[in-house]
Structure 1
């Protein structure tokens, strides 16, 4: 990342012991020794501007990150510049694990909004696996959860109609955002463009625009400057034939 797009925060705004995410019902509680290790594992925080590239495909990063606030997306590029968005990252999500375990990143990550990231040294993963089996299981759980989400996305692209695909994607992102409190007391507003949706679902921009208009006509969403606002979350799930995340409490590294 360029110095103009990201900057290190020299002092921690949020010590692990006072993490604003940890009290959320969606995250499991840490044992005291786990919290102590993670507090030492965390080296600081990184502020990222909207549109900045957090990680680049093919790079070798010395760090991995947990999203403390903001939105991002993971993507791959073809040689001619065509983009496939793989998934979206929100508070509590771990970024860069693939590069930590496989040597180099197999995808890139870009910020959809201003973000604050917790920074961890990749080299300390060995100590985590050696001395903290509960946290090691958490890493495995996070990787399995990512696989599960990608399976559902592949099902959507392969078998759902364009209308069902867009309804599913918006409901899926909205469900994840709601679970980590991104909406507060208001309706969820997702900071994506129609091009993001097209690049996630393999649709043309024209087809995407027509499909979004159908969802608006059904009063399921509103499309405003700055993103998509959810009007009827359950209606989107019903249209997509999707039962929802159905997650138990999840780990937070």
Structure 2
């Protein structure tokens, strides 16, 4: 196995999962917890920059992010990249490949990540035995669609400044709810190249746009990411408000 991957047997017991104590995630019943504990086959540890899943591949596993940041993306034949969305703890990756036989996009680690690993071949048993968990998977897929709708709206109708403000406010909210960010931790680990590939802008245009947000005191751009200084102002510029107030599921 490549040096940027380290597969291990189960290190974090599902009964002691750090995500379970976060108020943003719904609680499992005892029966559901037993099933997920048996469904899990171990953990995958990746370095930053590692490709977790490759477009077109048939993966034997699907994963839930336990720690770290990552992103989903597609690449055109000439090498241009479009980042589709970002993943944080609690998000599932590889479900598309489990349903459609092969991945329609790739997934890369932004930071070192830990992912809980599940056998794709056993997914159907979840639908057979646990209607609540099956609904959770449907919810996760629907939520991903909703996020992509907002991203498409941003690329299609928002100005460059509004796009950048929306993306950074969105990442801050996702990181906050996943326990990655709080009042003392404001660092979002995206480079200007990541922002450009998400917003569909050139790196030069992205640099100028981010400087405008920085000059207004909303962000502080660092070497490989930025500190979010005023998320409320970013939301106002983007004309966007987060709406994920309910408890969300995870597997």
> Which 5+ residue runs of structure 2 have no aligned equivalent?
none
Paired residue for 2:34, among 8, 33, 36? 36
- Within a 5 Å distance, the mapping from 1:122-161 to structure 2 comes to 122-161=120-159
TM-score, normalization by structure 1: 0.97
**2:96 corresponding residue in structure 1:** 98
CA distance in 1, matches of 2:243, 2:216: 23
- Asked whether 1:113 is paired with 2:111, we answer yes
**1:86 corresponding residue in structure 2:** 84
**2:4 corresponding residue in structure 1:** 5
Paired residue for 1:70, among 68, 71, 88? 68
Deviation at 1:124, TM superposition (A): 1.0
Deviation at 1:5, TM superposition (A): 1.0
Checking the alignment, whether the CA contact within 8 Å between 1:22 and 1:252 is kept in structure 2 is no
The ranges of structure 1 where at least 4 consecutive aligned residues each deviate by more than 3 angstroms after the TM superposition are: none
Are the structure 2 counterparts of residues 7 and 187 from structure 1 closer, same or farther at C-alpha, using a change threshold of 3 Å? closer
- Asked whether 1:206 is paired with 2:193, we answer no
**2:49 corresponding residue in structure 1:** 51
- Within a 5 Å distance, the mapping from 1:211-222 to structure 2 comes to 211-222=209-220
Checking the alignment, whether the CA contact within 8 Å between 1:51 and 1:111 is kept in structure 2 is yes
CA distance in 1, matches of 2:73, 2:139: 22
> Which 5+ residue runs of structure 1 have no aligned equivalent?
none
Deviation at 1:185, TM superposition (A): 4.6
**Cα deviation per residue 1:29-76 (whole Å; 9 max; x = unaligned)?**
111100000000000011101100000000000000000000101000
Deviation at 1:244, TM superposition (A): 1.2
Checking the alignment, whether the CA contact within 8 Å between 1:59 and 1:105 is kept in structure 2 is yes
